[in-house]
Amino acid sequence: MENKKLTATRWVVSVYGILIGLAGIEHGIFEILQGDVPTGGIMVDAIGDAYRFWPGTSETVLTIVQNFLWTGIFAVIFGILVTIWSSYFVQRKYGASVFFILAITLWVVGGGFAPIFLTLLGAGAATRIGKPLNWWREHLPGRAGFAKLWPHILVFFVIVFWSAVGIQIFGLPISADLIYGVMAVLSIVMVALLPFVVIVGFAYDTYKQY
């Protein structure tokens, strides 16, 4: 089997990585806007008071770089690296390992907390790119049914992810309590979809036998 073939598994990993990278860039831009000032700790809000679109706007991040400007610069740099690697190189021999290292580095330099779950699942799935997936072929019931969900489930996940990000940043023309409720629902849906999208990708690849 050709490792470079665009299987569903690779699509999932690449899309997860691109989401991680773009989210990191978005965090980094807001951090840069806060300027050359100390963060005052390792747990900070990427979006400063001057750039809040609604009172509940908050993007809590972890950063070992104790300066907002440099936190943002590093977040943008590593966000770009994760995006490029996920798009073009993740299928290579050490693709999964480099993906994991870049994404974890992005996380600790202000790239945000939500993508950490994408990182763990994406890196795990990346180890199966170009592999026969024999265990999944033998133990995944209803592969044909799951396979029919591809690629719609991946598109749906991307829509949910960016909807959550957009609402978190910009809010909605409704009360704050309702916004929090919408965010809670979207968060639950995202958590449920994260592993399910990977499973559907595996199912499609095993059903189609690449």
What is the per-residue pLDDT across 21-62, written as a single tens digit (0 to 9) for each? 999 999 999 999 999 999 999 999 999 999 999 988 879 999
Give me the phi and psi of 73, to 5 degrees please: -60, -45
Please check whether residue 159 lies inside any domain of the structure: yes
Tell me the mean pLDDT in the region 104-110: 96
Please check whether residue 1 lies inside any domain of the structure: no
Distance, in Å, from the CA atom of 185 to the CA atom of 190, rounded to the nearest integer, reads 9
Please check whether residue 3 lies inside any domain of the structure: no
Total structural domains within the chain: 1
Domain residues for the domain of 66 are 8-208
Per-residue confidence band for 161, with pLDDT thresholds at 50, 70 and 90? very high
Please check whether residue 63 lies inside any domain of the structure: yes
Does the pLDDT at position 2 exceed 50?
no
Q: For the chain, percent helix, then strand, then coil, each to nearest 5?
A: 65, 5, 30
Please check whether residue 172 lies inside any domain of the structure: yes
Query: Tens digit of pLDDT for each residue in 85-97?
Result: 999 999 999 999 9
Please check whether residue 114 lies inside any domain of the structure: yes
Please check whether residue 2 lies inside any domain of the structure: no
Distance, in Å, from the CA atom of 159 to the CA atom of 137, rounded to the nearest integer, reads 29
pTM: 0.93
Please check whether residue 28 lies inside any domain of the structure: yes
Q: Please, which residues have CB within 8 angstroms of residue 38's CB and are 6 or more apart in sequence?
A: 66, 67, 68
Angle between helices 115-126 and 8-33 (to 10 degrees): 150
